[in-house]
Amino acid sequence: EVMKVYSALKADDLSEGRRFVSYLVGRDTQNLNKEQVTRAAVETAAENTVDGILAPLFFMVIGLIFGVPVQAVFLYKTINTLDSMVGYIQEPYREIGFFSAKTDDVFNYIPARIGSVFMLLGGAFLGYDFKNGKRILIRDRRNHKSPNCAYPESVVAGLLGIQMGGTNQYFNQTLVKPTIGDASRSIEIEDIPASLKIMVASQVVMLLICIGVLFLSSI
């Protein structure tokens, strides 16, 4: 879905870019400019590297240890899906969304931190700026109301040399968030596929490490 945003922006179709990114984020998208749409897509890719890839792998490994890998992944995905659907802590979803959001925070606490290391390693393998990625991770890892989201976002921001976060609109309400990363350059649409490359590379790194650990534990 993120690549649909990229394709639309590549074709200079901002309205389609807004439409596709609206399927990915909870913020109001109807008035976003090209740079804001791009930022939303990159932020989504960064967060989903943990939520959609690394965290399920983490819980699969934990489940394997206890003999319940499928159940562990299913439990995590259920919690994460509920957070995606109703996990808003502002009106009008505060009452039903607060529990979902906080439960997801708990379940992603360890994966976000471990996953950030895998993302750094994956980014370094791809030739991105590992040193800056590490620096921004250490500096900006808490620049989000969520205890977890800033970890993957700060890694991607540092690796690519861009800035994320900032002010967004949710249900016509302004939500001011701290920025993540340095605006050493303007965010560009090519940062969208770059963020997806980091996602794939971090997955490979985690799989290799997990396979190695499982192999050594079986000896």
What residues contact residue 150 under an 8 Å CB cut-off, 6+ apart? 140, 141, 142, 143, 144, 165, 180
CA separation, residue 168 to residues 39, 59, 97, 177, 201 (Å): 11, 32, 19, 8, 29
CA distance 18 to 36: 9
| End-to-end Cα spacing for the chain | 41
- Position 86 scores a pLDDT of 61
Beta-ladder partners of 175: 168
pLDDT in tens, 56-83: 999 998 998 899 999 999 999 988 887 7
- Position 92 scores a pLDDT of 60
* Length, in residues, of the chain: 219
- Is the pLDDT at 97 greater than 80? The verdict is no
Confidence band (pLDDT; 50, 70, 90) for 115?
very high
- Is the pLDDT at 87 greater than 60? The verdict is no
pTM of the model: 0.90
Span 114-130, average pLDDT:
97
CB 83, CB 100: distance < 8 Å: yes
CB 210, CB 61: distance < 8 Å: yes
**SS3 of residue 158 by DSSP:** helix
pLDDT in tens, 152-209: 999 999 999 999 988 888 778 888 889 999 999 999 999 999 999 999 999 999 999 8
- In eight-state DSSP terms, residue 50 is I
CA torsion 113-117-126-162 (nearest 10°) is 50
- Position 212 scores a pLDDT of 85
Rg over CA atoms, the chain: 17
Span 7-31, average pLDDT:
93
Beta-ladder partners of 179: 165
